[in-house]
């Protein structure tokens, strides 16, 4: 009628089928086997009374009255006991999501992602769904639902199409769902996180990565209709700035030379709203300025109106739609439009730095404003000329001058088993005067065979203290 299961993490749960034929689960947590067996027996009696419609006997009724609040609430959720008077009503998914969003201090870009992930949760489960009904099994169903094709609106005309979410998008929505329920666990709204153990997949989408070469960057700058737009393109491609968030606070006073050894290098001081909560260099960093970017910025400063302190005044309020204009700029430059236009400019800048300064990943990651792990996972790209270099190195092995490397290797004829060679010649030739038994190779490095094993033993009173089992 009911069964007791033990999870891999050591927790226990009771499974049973209710009167409606629905499989129910009562989670007990980490309890002893004796306690779990006792609760299992009581649950079986409760299930039997539920099927027969009879009242509980005095012993069972007293056990129910003395139950701790947590276990009583779990039994009430599956319909085996009545909720206690004065107990707080169970929360719903809509209440948890609203509470999570209200107390979130995320930046506008992250808040937009939270809204999208929350909408997906509410669409699948429903805003009025009690939190107790969202079980690990239902979480797995939600994961499968995300991977299935859905109807979506794309393009400016909002054309309806049926398409599946990208793997990276699915992973992000599972991650945010886990965060929401983890917050509910901390707020005591739920007792377990149903999304623990649900794998979202990789958040890296290599198919959307594109390398913007320096030649293409020059075409983009030449196609800009204003010096300000040339500065936007240059800051994204040659300095790896986040667009538009890190352009808002840029001032001309942030561009200044600094001594680097015997030289004076131009640097740009960048304040990041996205990562400043981490403190240290995440809030403010220095980015080296190359010659191409310095030329663009100097031209932009020459035509800036007197008294203007901002490098990019048009993004001061942070509401400018730069992506649409940038897509037009890419088409005007005669280039094929790529996905994530500004993000790939930033990634291309880091790729150039990784080749220009090999072995300095920590410094490059600091210039970019993230960690080396993020750099290798989301920014570094494998470019075509990397494979060309590897192929050229491999071709050197076929050079005649490298023939001495394989000269010592046995040929196919000599590598055959000597017994087979003798069989081919009619079996009249002896392999050797003193043939060794088959599969009896010597171990030249064996201490037992060389006689060094006895002399190299640690004595009875060596590094370890003598015990009653040690041999003298």
Q: Looking at the domain assignment, is residue 302 inside a domain? A: yes
Q: Residue 153's domain is classified under what CATH number?
A: 1.10.150
> Does 137 share its domain with 157?
yes
Q: Looking at the domain assignment, is residue 130 inside a domain? A: yes
pLDDT value of position 464 = 44
> Does 199 share its domain with 225?
no
> Does 122 share its domain with 193?
yes
Q: Looking at the domain assignment, is residue 193 inside a domain? A: yes
Residue 105 backbone phi and psi in degrees, to 5 = -110, 30
pLDDT value of position 462 = 45
> Does 373 share its domain with 276?
yes
pLDDT value of position 468 = 47
Q: Residue 333's domain is classified under what CATH number?
A: 1.10.443.10
pLDDT value of position 469 = 47
Q: Looking at the domain assignment, is residue 406 inside a domain? A: no
Radius of gyration of the chain (CA): 35
> Does 313 share its domain with 172?
no
Q: Looking at the domain assignment, is residue 459 inside a domain? A: no
Contact predicate 335/219, CB 8 Å: yes
Q: What is the pTM assigned to this prediction?
A: 0.58
E strands, 146-235, in order: 150-154, 159-163
Give the number of domains in the chain.
3
> Does 260 share its domain with 372?
yes
Q: Which residues contact 311 (CB under 8 A, 6 or more apart)?
A: 231, 235, 247, 250, 251, 252, 254, 255, 297, 300, 301
Q: Domain boundary at 28, 53, 77, which?
A: 77
Q: Which two tokens stand for residue 320?
A: 């400018």
pLDDT (tens digit per residue) in 63-119: 999 998 888 888 888 889 988 876 666 789 999 999 999 999 888 888 999 999 999
Residue 176's closest CA among 106, 242, 128, 278?
Answer: 106
Q: Which two tokens stand for residue 431?
A: 């392999």
> Does 62 share its domain with 126?
no
Q: Looking at the domain assignment, is residue 390 inside a domain? A: no
- Helices (DSSP H) in 322-417: which residue ranges? 322-332, 341-356, 361-368, 372-374, 384-395
> Does 293 share its domain with 145?
no
> Does 224 share its domain with 355?
yes
* Dihedral angle sign, alpha carbons of residues 183, 187, 190, 191: positive
Q: Domain boundary at 203, 235, 263, which?
A: 203
> Does 327 share its domain with 226?
yes
Q: Looking at the domain assignment, is residue 414 inside a domain? A: no
Q: What angle do CA 15, 19, 22 make, to 5 degrees?
A: 50
Q: Looking at the domain assignment, is residue 298 inside a domain? A: yes
Containing structural domain, residue 70: 2-77
Q: Domain boundary at 354, 385, 416, which?
A: 385
Q: Which residues contact 218 (CB under 8 A, 6 or more apart)?
A: 292
The whole-number mean pLDDT for each consecutive block of 10 residues of the chain, a chain of 472 residues, reads: 81 88 84 91 92 90 89 86 75 92 86 93 90 89 91 68 86 95 91 88 80 94 94 95 91 87 85 77 87 93 91 79 92 93 94 91 91 84 70 54 59 55 48 48 44 43 46 40
> Does 53 share its domain with 139?
no
Contact predicate 24/17, CB 8 Å: yes
pLDDT (tens digit per residue) in 180-225: 999 999 998 888 899 998 988 777 777 788 999 999 999 999 999 9
> Does 315 share its domain with 343?
yes
């Amino acid at each position: 009628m009911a069964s007791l299961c033990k999870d891999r993490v050591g927790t226990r749960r009771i499974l049973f089928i209710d009167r409606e034929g629905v499989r129910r689960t009562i989670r007990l947590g980490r309890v002893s086997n004796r306690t779990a067996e006792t609760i299992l027996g009581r649950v079986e009696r409760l299930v039997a009374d539920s099927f027969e419609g009879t009242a509980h006997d005095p012993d069972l009724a007293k056990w129910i009255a003395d139950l701790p609040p947590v276990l009583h609430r779990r039994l009430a959720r599956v319909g085996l006991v009545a909720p206690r008077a004065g107990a707080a009503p169970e929360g719903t998914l809509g209440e948890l999501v609203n509470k999570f969003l209200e107390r979130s201090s995320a930046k506008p870009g992250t808040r937009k992602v939270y809204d999208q992930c929350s909408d997906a949760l509410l669409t699948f489960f429903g805003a009025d769904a009690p939190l107790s009904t969202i079980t690990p099994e239902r979480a797995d169903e939600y994961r499968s639902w995300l991977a299935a094709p859905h109807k979506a609106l794309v393009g400016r005309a909002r054309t309806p199409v049926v398409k599946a979410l990208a793997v990276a998008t699915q992973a992000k929505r599972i991650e945010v769902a886990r965060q929401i329920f983890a917050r509910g666990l901390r707020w005591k709204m739920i007792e377990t996180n149903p999304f623990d153990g649900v794998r979202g997949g990789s958040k890296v989408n290599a198919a959307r990565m594109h390398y913007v070469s320096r030649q293409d960057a020059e075409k983009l700058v030449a196609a800009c209709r204003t010096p300000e737009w040339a500065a936007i393109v240059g800051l994204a491609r040659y300095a790896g700035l986040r667009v538009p968030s890190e352009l808002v606070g840029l001032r001309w006073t942030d561009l200044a030379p600094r001594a680097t050894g015997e030289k004076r290098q131009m640097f740009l001081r960048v304040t990041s709203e996205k990562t400043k909560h981490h403190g240290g260099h995440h809030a403010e960093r220095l980015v080296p300025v190359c010659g191409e970017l310095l030329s663009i910025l100097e031209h932009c400063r020459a035509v800036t109106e007197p008294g203007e302190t901002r490098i990019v005044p048009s993004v001061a309020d942070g509401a400018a739609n730069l992506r649409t204009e940038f897509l037009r700029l890419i088409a005007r430059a005669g280039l094929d439009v790529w996905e994530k236009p500004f993000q790939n400019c930033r990634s291309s800048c880091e790729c150039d730095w990784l080749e220009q300064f090999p072995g300095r990943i920590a410094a490059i990651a600091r210039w970019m404003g993230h960690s080396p792990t993020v750099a290798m996972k989301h920014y570094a790209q494998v470019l075509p000329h990397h494979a060309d270099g590897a192929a050229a190195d491999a071709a050197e092995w076929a050079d005649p001058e490298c023939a001495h490397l394989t000269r010592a290797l046995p040929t196919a004829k000599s590598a055959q088993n000597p017994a087979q060679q003798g069989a081919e010649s009619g079996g009249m030739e002896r392999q050797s005067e003193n043939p060794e038994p088959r599969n009896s190779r010597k171990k030249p490095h064996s201490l037992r065979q060389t006689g060094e094993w006895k002399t190299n033993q640690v004595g009875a009173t060596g590094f370890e203290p003598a015990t009653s089992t040690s041999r003298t």
